[in-house]
Structure 1
Amino acid sequence: MTTSSIDAYGRTTVPAEVRSAVGIKPGVKLHWHLMPDGSVLVRAKTSSILELAGSLPAPDKPVSIKDMNPWRRRR
């Protein structure tokens, strides 16, 4: 188990072993989640949804807004 400590300003250093395993580099944001059982889950936000742009092929024909509505009943 890897540990780190908190300094007087509330800062900590993410251990090198963890940084390399998760791919954390300078500038990566960490998201802290307090769980109901009192534990803390920390996630590294390493990518943006904008990186997904262009990853799917364009539809063969245009799709109307009406067809995009998920609550619309198909008949």
Structure 2
Amino acid sequence: MSSAKVTSKGQVTIPVDVRRKLGLQPGSRLTFEPTDDGGYEIHAEGSTIRDLKGAVEAPASPVSLEDMDTAIAAGARGSMR
């Protein structure tokens, strides 16, 4: 069982094994849901599409629809092997 100590500011360092199990990264959000017995369940919030912003660099120049169609067709042919 993992444990952590609450600081005077109300902060907690989540043990590394728990972070790995929950898939937590810096900036991850947690929800605290009360249980019927007076305790709490901690859940890692799922990611949203907005969390992906900036994950991939923008291309140096715009890609045409024709180039996109060509890449999609090539990928489709490759997946049918």
TM-score of Structure 1 vs Structure 2, range by shorter chain:
0.5 to 0.7
AA of the residue aligned to 1:22: L
Q: Once the two structures are aligned, what percentage of the paired residues are identical?
A: 29
Q: With a CA cutoff of 8 Å and minimum separation of 6, indicate the structure with the bigger relative contact order.
A: 1
**Ranges in structure 1 where 5+ consecutive residues have no aligned partner:** 52-75
AA of the residue aligned to 2:3: T
Q: Which residue of 2 aligns with 1:34?
A: 34
Q: Deviations over 1:23-64 (max 9, x none)?
A: 10000101011112111100011322779xxxxxxxxxxxxx
Which structure: greater helix fraction?
Answer: 2
Q: Which residue of 2 aligns with 1:8?
A: 8
C-alpha contact 1:24 1:46 (8 A) present in aligned 2: no
AA of the residue aligned to 1:33: E
User: TM-score scaled to structure 2, two decimals?
Assistant: 0.56
Q: Write the distance in 2 (CA, Å) between the matches of 1:17 and 1:50.
A: 27
The answer to whether structure 1 residue 24 and structure 2 residue 43 are counterparts is: no
C-alpha RMSD of the superposition: 1.8
The count of aligned residue pairs is 51
Q: Write the distance in 1 (CA, Å) between the matches of 2:42 and 2:2.
A: 14
